[in-house]
Amino acid sequence: MSTLLSGKVAVITGAASGIGRGIASRFVDEGAQIVLTDIDDDAGAALAAELGEHAVYAHVDVTTESDIAAAVALAADTFGSLDIMVNNAGAQGDPSSIIDADPDGFDRTAALLTRSVLLGHKHAARRFIAQGTPGSIISTASAAAIQGGWSTVGYTAAKHAVVGLVRQAAAELGPSGIRSNAIAPGIIMTPIMARTFGVEPAKSEQFMDFLAARLGPGQPSRRVGFPDDIASVATFLASDMAAYVNGTVIPVDGGATTVTLGTFATDVVAAAAEFAASQP
């Protein structure tokens, strides 16, 4: 690997599995020192041990502001500074539809997916400003932040709000040398996919292989995504190569949100043929 992040220090939330794990591993490969956080202490501690002296683990519930503040402080206390904040932690959240909306479930989803991103910005930005250094804040959005129909109303609204937060952060924090950008993953094969559909953990990999084979051919790039695809873009945004990139949302979805992924093309041909066949 290269050393795009040599000398940089990062906090990564939701780092014990999936996209967060992929980002954590890549950042260390690229020379960064990291505080990886999660609520799965066993998986988080195991990953920190695997990554060695360049990583430490901290239990962080991102719906609790003091936990986020403590992770930022830990980075500075352990490695001397903070350069990168990755707001990645999340879950599917409340499954309700609009017509059956559960206000409490909606609020919990917003706290996990949007308020946590706000608080990550707040405490990282305070640290950058106190240090007198520039910084990069990267937040995980979603294809559901760009289009409706990808998920439930709570998740979709919360991820759309992340995009608004990132754009506001660019306006407010840019003058202090702080960049805020988001990544919008499409169909990414992670354990959250299995959990979302109630698949037991022992069958998670089998389920993901099945989904990849079933869904990949329907994507413009003819495959699904993997955590390493997201980690590559996160590394770019965290590095000095992206020094003039601010307030952007980068879809990492193989082109899925760029085109209309439907059956219109074949449906219209079939309908025309059916019409023609019905004429005397």
* Residue 212 and residue 224 in contact, taking contact as beta carbons nearer than 8 Å: yes
Q: What is the DSSP string of the chain?
A: ---TTTT-EEEESS-SSHHHHHHHHHHHHTT-EEEEEES-HHHHHHHHHHHGGGEEEEE--TTSHHHHHHHHHHHHHHHS---EEEE----------STT--HHHHHHHHIIIIIHHHHHHHHHHHHHHHHT--EEEEEE--GGGTSTTSS-HHHHHHHHHHHHHHHHHHHHHGGGTEEEEEEEE-SB-SHHHHHHTT--GGGHHHHHHHHHHHHGGGSTTSS-B-HHHHHHHHHHHHSGGGTT--S-EEEESTTTTTS--SSHHHHHHHHHHHHHHH--
Catalytic residue of the set 57, 79, 150, 155: 155
Beta bridge partners of 10: 34, 84
Residue 161, Cα to own-chain centre: how many angstroms? 14
Q: How far apart are CA 121 and CA 171, in angstroms?
A: 13
Q: Please indicate whether residue 155 is annotated as part of the active site.
A: yes
Catalytic site residues? 155
